[in-house]
Amino acid sequence: MTGFITPYSANIAVESSVLRWRVVFACLLCVCVFLIRPVLAADSGITIHSALLQVQDDRYVVNASCTIQLNPVLDDVLQKGVPLYFLAEFELVKPRWYWAYRQMASWFDSTARQEYRLSYNALTRKYRVARGGLQQNFATLQQALAAICNISNWPVMEVNLLSKGRQYEGRLRLLLNVQQLPKPFQINVIGSSEWDLSSDWKNVAFVGAGAE
């Protein structure tokens, strides 16, 4: 008997082959996505490279250097006119007994915060960084982020609050403050890794320079 293939059988074979290739392509695409996403995530974030606490004009001041890398989502939001807020936080963490004392006396706040507002003006094509009453314009995003990352002479505590000669330790971090975003964005960023931008805590050891 001579074998033959009907047009219907041929169509089934072709469709089956196409389906297999679609499945293979989809699998390869998924693999590429999982491989690429960690690389993109590694390219974004905040890193504090150095931090130092010194005495200046009867206050402890923080000087620090860090880098900020925005991911595509944050960059796109910024380009569309939505400002981004970054928050620098410093807190005293040692000695441990001091926390117990503070809870009883609560006579000064051992935590300091400083906020930066980063915005983009599409008309002037300028980036603006605002801190308190100070504002600066920059031609590029890299320059604006560098201004935020250069924390210089930031007063965090009065000298006379800590005992002279005693060892202390503080810590510093810088993060994206999503609480300052417009309400619709605050709802959308819940559970979204693209908006979770924060450095690790950077420990800063120092010696008290206050009263004996």
Determine the number of helices (DSSP H) and then strands (DSSP E) in the chain.
5, 9
- 29 lies in a domain? yes
CA dist., res. 158 & res. 107, Å (int): 12
Handedness of CA 37, 39, 40, 44 (dihedral sign): positive
CA dist., res. 49 & res. 172, Å (int): 11
Does 11 share its domain with 72?
Answer: no
- 64 lies in a domain? yes
SS3 of residue 46 by DSSP: strand
Domain of residue 32 covers 1-42
| Order of all β-strands in the sheet with 134-138 | 134-138, 126-131, 111-121, 84-94, 167-176, 202-207
Amino acid at position 16, single letter: S
Does 31 share its domain with 98?
Answer: no
pLDDT tens, residue by residue, 83-118:
999 999 999 886 655 555 554 345 567 899 999 999
pLDDT tens, residue by residue, 140-181:
999 999 999 999 999 999 998 888 888 889 999 999 998 888
- 195 lies in a domain? yes
Does 75 share its domain with 26?
Answer: no
- Report the pLDDT value the prediction gives residue 55, as an integer from 0 to 100: 95
CA distances from 140 to 59, 101, 129, 143 (A): 34, 47, 11, 5
In 3D, which of 176, 131, 153, 128 has the Cα closest to residue 64?
Answer: 153
Task: Using alpha carbons only, give the angle 173, 112, 50 rounded to the nearest 5 degrees.
Answer: 35
Does 25 share its domain with 55?
Answer: no
- Average pLDDT taken over every residue of the chain: 79
Does 185 share its domain with 139?
Answer: yes
The total number of structural domains in the chain stands at 2
